A and B are shown apart, each in its own frame.
Chain A
Amino acid sequence: MTRAVFGCDPKGSAQVPFREAALNQPFFRRVWGGAIGWMNRSRKLGWTDLIFVLIIVALVVGLWHLAVHWEAPPPKSSQEAVDSISLSPLALPLYTFYSLMRGVIAYALSLLFTLVYGYWAAKDKVAQRVLIPMLDILQSIPVLGFAPLLLLVFVKAFPNHNVGLELAVIISIFTGQAWNMTFSFYQSVRAVPSDMHEAATVYRFNWWQRFKWVELPFSAIGLIWNSMMSFAGGWFVLSVVEALDIGKDEAGNPVHYWSPGIGSYLAKASLSDPWDWQAMVLGVLAMTVMIVALDQLLWRPVVAWAQKFRVEEGGAQEATTSWFLNLLRRSRLVSATLEWLGELLAPRSGRKARAGAAAPVDPTQGSPAMAWVSRGLFVVLVGVMIYGAWCLVQLILQLQAATWGVLLVDAFWTLLRVLASLVIGTLWALPAGLAIGLSPRLSRVLQPVVQVLASFPAPLFFPFVIIGLQAVGVNLDWGSILLMLLGTQWYILFNVIAGAMAVPADLKEAARSYNIKGWQRFKILYFPALFPFLVTGWVTAAGGAWNASIVAEFGHDSHSQVLAARGLGADIMKAADGEPEPGAPGAKGAAASKDANYPYLAASVLVLSLVVIVFNRLVWRRCYLLAETRFSITR
């Protein structure tokens, strides 16, 4: 009953048979609107409303705890930060809530960023030329590389409160969430059909009306799917950043930048000797419950609701249903709240019509006033970028040529690991995904499971796996491939399943009727049909693997001894630890400083980003092109 979210028509949906005539008075309606909708007697207060109230109460209590924690002074020593994490099962709900809230706050930031940046890039043709390549770069570089830097800077900026560390964690998560959403939104805004724009122009929508009635609804579905992906990416970052160790103290122990949450809970479980199995299982369980609950209580309802934003005709597709959305729709309090919100968002009526002829509006542009704001922002942005580049150059000029050589070789090793993890992942996920996707029964059961697995942040396991690998005598040079694989194989599997389900039935029937079997059938039918999906899986998996390299190539054993592979990911962590850069005079044997080695850190992140960008251009882009031109089934 609440179709009013985009201000389409709050009144039409408020079919409320008020007994009291006074309630129908314009003033009452204006002020209270749908908030008096609960008086609607067609809906009864039921247990769904009770749950709704309980959720709100839990939320308020949780937020109160969060605020207290943010405000509190940081732990005196890094050891205290670890000691304060309780492994008691009773502490876990609060930690889960903390982690959830970090994800949610970061998502709110991402959404805000998406709407502003995406809209700006879509409307300003000049700014677009800078904004979009920048977004492309941000989207492809491994954001985890920046996390140590963020942590160091923010903790230094807020020495007296936890808020510094918390902000650093949230911003790190934001960097793992925002870019693909922004890209999707930008592309949707640009793809609004011209007739929809023309109708909006002829009927004189102002920029805000065009945004909320045309552009935002048109982008909604893409934005929602990308939000789901972003949340998964956010958990990945969160699982690392909640329990990051950077540098060493005087005694040579790693300094823990830990914030209470599922990530640090599991990290602590891995530190105890012997492992605290109970805590480990509970922690993984808590993460799984959170992911499943978000899927069931947030994303599925949203996807089901968002079906009205479909643009294509016909109802051939199976409708997504959500038990939770149905429940919500039955709830009196929820609908009343939403109606009230809709009323608030609706434009005030009675505005005077603009008389006479208005200037023709170019739908690809915003309003003239916004053009000035846009220009101003653009100048500021370019200024900041130039300044940033200048600082970066100053920093990395301090490095010796030999260091660059070492970094390039390290990049090569990391690249090999990323590719190895892709190959291994493909080798098992391709046949498995094909088998699952081709069987309707299997795919119905397993697809949701794979979806959860794909969004489960693998770094949560890394401490355990690293220690386990050491126990069986595998060093990180090889072991890190396994770690990368843990995080990325699911993307390949997930996409292969989707691809296998999408193989057209007539092509399959043709293959069967011409008696094409086994390897032949794979070669001429399945592989070409799966290729576009496989490319998407590879690109996502490679992105994840690059990111994972930072935590996979570097870790601590059970005695807090550093374990490092030869690779760029390890370089980043070592630089953050304050180790001298390789190739520097007297690097061998020099003691690590207390502070991070910023030139080394900047250079490592820079090389990593460049390698990823170049690889994307040279390899993935061509694969995409090939997938679109040669192997597209719809074309």
Chain B
Amino acid sequence: MPATTEPRADRLRTSNLCEVKGVSHEFPQPNGQKLRVLDDVTLAVRPGEVVALLGPSGCGKSTILRIIAGLIKPTRGEVFYHGQPLPGLNPGVAIVFQSFALYPWMTVQQNVETVLRAAGRPGGELKGRAEGSIRMVGLSGFEEAYPRELSGGMKQRVGMARGLSVDPEILLMDEPFSHVDALTAESLRAEVLDIWGAQKQRLSSILLVSHDITEVAYMADRIVILAANPGRVRTVVENKLPRPRDYRSQQLLSLVDYLHEIITHSEMPDVPTPAGPQAPSKTYEPLPAALPSEISGLLEYLDARGGKEDVYRIAGDTNREFGQVINVVKAAEMLDLVDTPKRMVVLEPDGKRFVAASPQDRQSLWRQHLLRLRLFKDVFEALKKQPRYEIDRDFVLELIVMNMPQENYERMFETFSHWSRFGDLFVYDEDTEKISIADGLIEEGTKG
């Protein structure tokens, strides 16, 4: 275990190493519309700290990391490195990638030497330096192995060796352990902190992108919590727990709990349902990216546990990423199948009926609930007016783009089509790109 127990005093200078000020970013979508992924993000990396970006998928945390690295130029806002505006690539960073991004045709040694060579290090230095960083990450003896011969954890060690070899001031880590099995990830986290704690290199700070709440509580000095669609800073939590930290210590567990609370509160706010449950909603609500099978699975799960459960327990029990569980819960809540007082998820009467129902009844119940949503209602009305009960996919895309411009319309259309298919409401034909009313409904639809 490392001797370091405090953020390293020698590096506690007042000025920030790297700053992102008022950064917004938009990606062009295929139809020419712009999708805003970041909205007015301001944050800083101070010397000698581990700072974590935490948030659900789609909150743009990887985009922020790439903006700091200089890989992406933000649409608006500026990046500063040592107080100077950054014109291009950030000279003081190295990235450790989620997917490792190793070159499979090079051995471990070659992967590391290659970046040293590209950095213009003299040829005589290459071998020694590369071996040094490989030793640092505990891979001595694997120099001549190819990445495909290594496990995920070992590959990420190579990724770290490569990053450390160029002696960065800030190490950017993009979900570094999400493709690594849980046990290996645990030891890797400790080793990263050891390397960072040992005052041997220039390495001063680490910026860690993660969706794993326990991971950031264990590793970070500051935790920046982001909200999604578009990505923005929700809040920053200081983590002053002494190092080395223990995953099971009471303080760490309560910090994890606190972080859960913040995310749940922001993602599932306790607003009372405005009108009665029967009335279709007046406004368009974005459909969370959750599959009908996941939603019905959640209902079954709740039913088996007496109708309610803590949302973190659900994530733990089902072994799902917390953000995705929240998506499923939000979807179920939108369909009036569950309610979410605080961090509990409670089965609503209709949810109970759904669980008890036969497959056919489930379909019709699902369909009724879909038609309470504005998007489905509008598409249904439009379809009824068509002579062949058929409509172009573009019509729905247009509805989504016009009413929910912040959303990724392609992804939402996919959710839309999954949900309607599950309720046997609409049928989407991929070849003709047309949506039509399901056969059994045409009679009903024309009468209604």
Contact = CB atoms under 8 A, between A and B. Distances in A.
Interface string A355-375: 111111100000000000000
- Secondary structure at the B interface, as helix, strand, loop or mixed, is loop
Interface string B49-73: 0000000000000000010011111
B121 A629 contact: no
B97 A356 contact: no
B107 A203 contact: no
B89 A361 contact: yes
Given A8-B110, A357-B87, A360-B89, A202 B123 contact: no
28 contacts: A3-B107, A193-B101, A195-B100, A200-B118, A202-B89, A202-B94, A203-B115, A203-B119, A203-B162, A203-B166, A204-B118, A204-B119, A308-B105, A308-B146, A309-B105, A310-B148, A347-B117, A349-B117, A349-B123, A351-B120, A353-B120, A355-B91, A356-B91, A357-B70, A357-B90, A358-B88, A360-B71, A629-B431
Interface residues on A, range: 35 or more
A315 interface: yes
Interface of A: 3, 6, 8-9, 11-12, 26, 193, 195-196, 198-206, 209, 213-214, 217, 220, 308-311, 313-315, 347-361, 629
Interface string B90-130: 11011101111101111101100111011111111011000
A198 B71 contact: yes
Interface residues of B, number: 49
A105 B94 CA distance: 44
A196 B110 contact: no
A359 B88 CA distance: 4
B69 to A, nearest CB: 6
A350 B93 CA distance: 22
Contacts of B109: 9, 12
A45 B123 CA distance: 32
A196 B107 contact: no
A371 to B, nearest CB: 16
Given A202-B71, A357-B88, A360-B71, 12 more contacts: A12-B107, A12-B113, A195-B99, A196-B101, A198-B71, A198-B95, A202-B69, A202-B93, A209-B114, A209-B117, A349-B122, A629-B430
B392 interface: no
A310 to B, nearest CB: 7
B257 interface: no
A15 B431 CA distance: 59
Contact of B148 (A3, A201, A314): A314
A513 B87 CA distance: 66
A347 B99 CA distance: 28
B298 to A, nearest CB: 28
B101 to A, nearest CB: 4
A203 B89 CA distance: 10
A348 B120 CA distance: 10
Contact of B73 (A199, A356, A360): A360
Contact of A11 (B72, B103, B127, B146): B127
Nearest to A213: B114
A203, A213, A220, A309: residue with the most chain B Cβ atoms closer than 10 Å = A203
Contacts of A220: 105
Sort A-B residue pairs by CB-CB distance and give the 4 closest, nearest first.
A349-B123, A353-B120, A195-B101, A203-B115
A357 B104 contact: no
A310 B148 CA distance: 9
B439 interface: no
B169 to A, nearest CB: 13
B121 A353 contact: yes
B144 interface: yes
A310 B121 CA distance: 29
